[in-house]
Structure 1
Amino acid sequence: MTLQQPPAPILINNVRVFDAVRSGPTPPTSVLIQDRRIAAIGTRNPPEGTVVIEGGERMLIPGLTDAHVHLFATGTSLAGLTTGATGTGYYTALAAAEQMLMRGFTTVRDMAGDVAPLRQVLDAGTFPGPRIYPSQAAISQTSGHGDFSDVYENANTFSCGAHARAEQIGFLRVADGRDQVLAAVREQLKKGASQIKVMAGGGVASAYDPLDVLQYTPDELRAAVEAATDWGTYVAAHVYNDEGVRRAIAAGIKSIEHGHLIAGPETVKLMADSGVWLSTQPFLENDHEYPNPENTEKNKQVCEGVANSFAWAREQGANIAFGTDLLLEPEKSGLQNEMLTRLSTHFGFKPVEALRIATSGNAELFRLAGERDPYKAAPLGRITEGAWADVLLVEGDPVQNLTVLANPDKNLVVIIKDGRIYKNTLA
């Protein structure tokens, strides 16, 4: 898809810059944006035709990032996703993408859903939305976290088995055995995945798998890693329980999605020593609602483990990524900003630490996509010369008080992504 013409240069005057590299903001300065990148910091000689924004000594920060979203499922219910008309998921994903951008999230890593075509549309500047690192369909074993078939249906590994609706729309892929896992990974890479997601343990929302179960044998997990490595990228694994985390690390998986039921600091130290990321979420119990007591109890167990997983990760020096994992409850999607602020208000991070995790920190995880990284041409998640021009002008000081980001409608006065202005209340 052809990009639109580059936007006019932008000069943002008189702003304090938090570049997500240094420990604090700069004194008031100016930032020049040109050709979709940060062209200069401190310049006063903009080219002709430059759009000038007077910052009034507000703080300029990098665009926020979310390491675990589901654009395909954020704006719809489970029934809507699995029974809706063909194409419904794309309409809701397009709306969800715009809402995320207007909340200040300029880059997201999508962890299940056929969003590679959406990424191309957004990158072309045709519609508003964040940059997307697609995983395409999440890959699951039969009876795993991604098996949405009915219990009376035959497993689709048998010739008589049918593919559930969630598979038909590219949200999930059920694959059993080394050969099917290899094919499933290659299928997602063929469709534009920048990284691969597998289900390696029990889940909260799924019907058949208690939280303690292990999913995929070591050989199946290694098969996924081998296929992804051949394409220069990595595998992330959905898993809560301790033994599943250890199995995933041994297989070469580089990102643990969730990890809330890790048993102790020893496993987190193993993650740190192995260079494995903890991509986790600051859940509270009322973030999700479930129609039956079994799923409600599983949700409670997961939420009780959040504080420990964060504390051990900090103690052991593990790489921490921030994500939200909001899906299938459209009325809850606005929690995205509040969940970011919880890193500071609930889980012990200084505001500047949390802000760095949600900008340059997440960007380091995204870069593991290597040659499959759609944005590898420039640095991401920071305000430095040559970086992608994804920036937010904030009313208030998020370096001292992260909660100002909980109200993006009021406190994000300018939103720029890819050098394009999507919001400017100072105009």
Structure 2
Amino acid sequence: MTRNFIPCLAAALLLGAPAAFAQKTYLHCGHLLDVRSGRLLAQQTVVVEKDRIVAVQAGYAAGGPQDKIVDLESRTVLPGLIDCHVHLESEFGKSSFSEQFTLNPADIAYRAQGYALTTLRAGFTTVRDCGGSGVNTALRKAVAQGLVPGPRIYSAGVALSATGGHMDGTDGLSDFMMEKLNPGPVAGVANGPDQCRQAVREQFKRGADLIKIASTGGVLDLSKNSSGPQYTEEEIRAVVETARDLGMRVACHAHGPEGIKRALRAGVSSIDHGSLLDDEGIALFKKSTAWYVPTLIAGKSVADSARKPGYFPAVVAIKAVSIGNQMQGTFGRAYKAGVRVAFGTDAGVFRHGQNAREFGYMTEAGMPALEAIRSATLNAAMLLDETANLGALEAGKLADVVALDGNPLQDITALMRPSFVMKAGVVYVTKRLWTESP
């Protein structure tokens, strides 16, 4: 027997086939939420090998002596959550405006690493970072290479807008500073179709996964108008067509109705915020392939902060109250009308790690708990074009798994308290759940 075993082992190693000896992890799930069917399945086993799910079986299966069992028998298990709108480089506070002039890229990177880990520990195993300084793309690389822990990141790099638009960092500065800095397409400020094409190509060159544009003004900038359109349909179309040629999708920040409609007609992949979406915009949404990413928690957060004296500059406070208080109502109308929703929060506008509060605001507005969870799993995976890898607990998909001490279909706030988080087969949150297989 020994004579036969040693040559067989040597042959397996030479042929590059150590799979027969690889350790598997068996997750014993008290209840597993099948997000596709909507059923809560009792006593299921998710089998993980390396970074993938290799099987989902009824009952509590066990492997060989080299395998591990994770006891989740008192917990509800669901796919890792996906947030389609975060900003990992920052976390807004009273000093945020002045920090634009004091923080170096290294300072931003150290902070971003912490925010990324906080997000992962909150159960969000994948995020779409919708704009920063470019540190977001570097962070994506570092996480992918295993240098730092964090969620899987799809980075927009530097977001794009027109001169005076939401992404123009010189809004509200002195004439001297505006002229001195004078940002252009390389810095994400682009005017006219040709500059818009150049700006897309710049972000592609720097490694971005998607393009983010602002077709309207925004709340947390020093311009006066948060809802007026700031790009023509021709300019947006130039962005979309150039991005499509390069294999990239376009996320569009938009609050006001005209900017939303121009972006939908031009073919963007998502409208993020959509605060003042009107009936004509809803009809356009339903004819398009675009997703609505509502970010309700951001609206609630900025409206609350605006009521604190001195928290925001006066011009920002006015916009925060006006826009923030309308977002949840708009979302409720859009969902009930049949607009497709993908989960997103704008984390960074509020504290990272609080992303799951969004689920509560969604259900308050009339979305059933199951549909809210689907927005952060199946739907979000579709928006990212990653349905082969993400969005459900199924064989062949990446082993992104979250376990909760409660049933989120009955208590949506359970999503705020994950007791177990696995990303690509690696455990980042656990409460002494490991046991060895008998």
Select the residue among 419, 422, 427 that pairs with 1:421. Answer: 427
Question: Which of 82, 89, 102 is the equivalent residue of 1:65?
Answer: 82
Counterpart-to-counterpart distance in 2, 1:194 and 1:85: 24
Counterpart residue identity of residue 49, structure 1? Q
- The one-letter code sitting in structure 1 at the alignment partner of 2:72 is G
State the partner residue of 1:382. 392
- Cα offset for 1:47? 5.0
CA distance in 2, matches of 1:277, 1:70: 19
Within 2, Cα distance between the matches of 1:214 and 1:323?
A: 22
Task: Decide whether aligned partners of structure 1 residues 212 and 392 sit closer, same or farther in structure 2, where only a CA change above 3 A counts.
Answer: closer
Partner of 2:270: 255
Q: What is the rounded CA distance, in whole Å, between the counterparts of 1:262 and 1:365 in structure 2? A: 20
* Rg comparison, structure with higher value: 2
**Residue 155 of structure 1: how far off its partner (Å):** 9.4
CA 1:419–1:66 in 2, change beyond 3 Å: closer, same or farther?
same
Q: 1:354: which partner in 2?
A: 372
State the Cα distance separating 1:111 from its structure 2 match. 0.3
**Contact preservation (8 Å) 1:143, 1:209:** no
Identity in percent: 31
CA distance in 2, matches of 1:34, 1:213: 51
- The 1:78/1:105 distance shift into structure 2, 3 A limit, reads farther
Q: Deviations over 1:342-361 (max 9, x none)?
A: 222x2122211111111222
The Cα shift of 1:82 comes to: 3.8
- TM-score of the two chains, using structure 1 as the length reference: 0.87
CA deviations on 1:32-62 (whole Å, 9 max, x unpaired) are 0112111111172535522211122421111
> 1:133·1:195 contact (CA, 8 Å) conserved in 2?
yes
In the alignment, is the contact (CA less than 8 A) between 2:117 and 2:149 conserved in 1?
yes
Compute the displacement of 1:256 (Å).
0.7
State the partner residue of 1:28.
43
1:153/1:162 contact within 8 Å kept: no
Distance 2:201 2:327 in 1: 33
1:109 corresponds to 2:128: yes
Give the CA deviation at 1:209: 4.2
Is 1:400 the counterpart of 2:410? The answer is: yes
Q: 1:276–1:154: structure 2 CA closer, same or farther, 3 Å change rule?
A: farther
Give the alignment partner of residue 18 of structure 1, picking from 29, 33, 50.
Answer: 33
Corresponding residue number in structure 1 for 2:347: 326
Are 1:152 and 2:174 an aligned pair?
A: yes
Query: 8 Å contact 1:30–1:42 — kept in the other structure?
Result: yes
Q: Which moved more, 1:205-214 or 1:215-224?
A: 205-214
- The DSSP-based 3-state class of the residue aligned with 2:84 is strand
Q: Whole-Å Cα distance in 2 between the matches of residues 60 and 328 of structure 1?
A: 29
Aligned residues: 400
Rounded Cα–Cα distance in structure 1 between residues aligned with 2:211 and 2:145: 24
Aligned residues of 1:413 and 1:426 also touching (Cα < 8 A): no
> Which residue of 277, 280, 292 corresponds with 1:266?
280
Distance 2:333 2:101 in 1: 38
Deviation of 1:315 after TM superposition, in Å, equals 2.4
Q: Offset at 1:68?
A: 0.6
Matching of residue 198 in structure 1 with residue 198 in structure 2: no
Residue in structure 2 matched with residue 372 of structure 1 by the alignment? none
Q: Distance in 2 between matches of 1:178 and 1:419?
A: 44
Distance in 1, Cα, partners of 2:137 & 2:264: 27
1:220 deviates by 1.4
Taking the aligned partners of 2:407 and 2:394, their CA distance within structure 1 comes to 20
Q: Does 2:263 correspond to 1:245?
A: no
2:105 partner letter: T
The separation in 1 between residues aligned to 2:220 and 2:92, in whole angstroms, is 17
1:159-202 CA-to-partner distances (Å, cap 9, x unmatched) read x65256xx99x9x6111222221111011111221111111001
CA distance in 2, matches of 1:211, 1:286: 14
After TM superposition, the runs of 4+ consecutive aligned structure 1 residues lying more than 6 A away are none
Give, in whole Å, the separation in 2 of the partners of 1:291 and 1:155: 21
Partner Cα separation in structure 2 for residue 236 and residue 339 of structure 1 = 19
How far residue 325 of structure 1 moved from its aligned partner, in angstroms, is: 1.0
Verify: 1:341 aligned to 2:347, yes or no: no
SS for the counterpart of 1:71 is coil
Q: Residue 105 of structure 2 corresponds to which residue in structure 1?
A: 86
Structure 1 residue matching 2:213: 3-state secondary structure = strand
SS at match of 1:426: coil
Kindly report the root-mean-square deviation, in angstroms, between the aligned alpha carbons of the 2 structures. 2.5
In the TM superposition, what are the counterparts of 1:122-271 in structure 2 within 5 Å? Answer: 122-149=143-170, 151-153=173-175, 161-163=180-182, 173-263=188-278, 265-271=279-285
Which amino acid counterpart does residue 327 of structure 1 have in structure 2? Answer: G
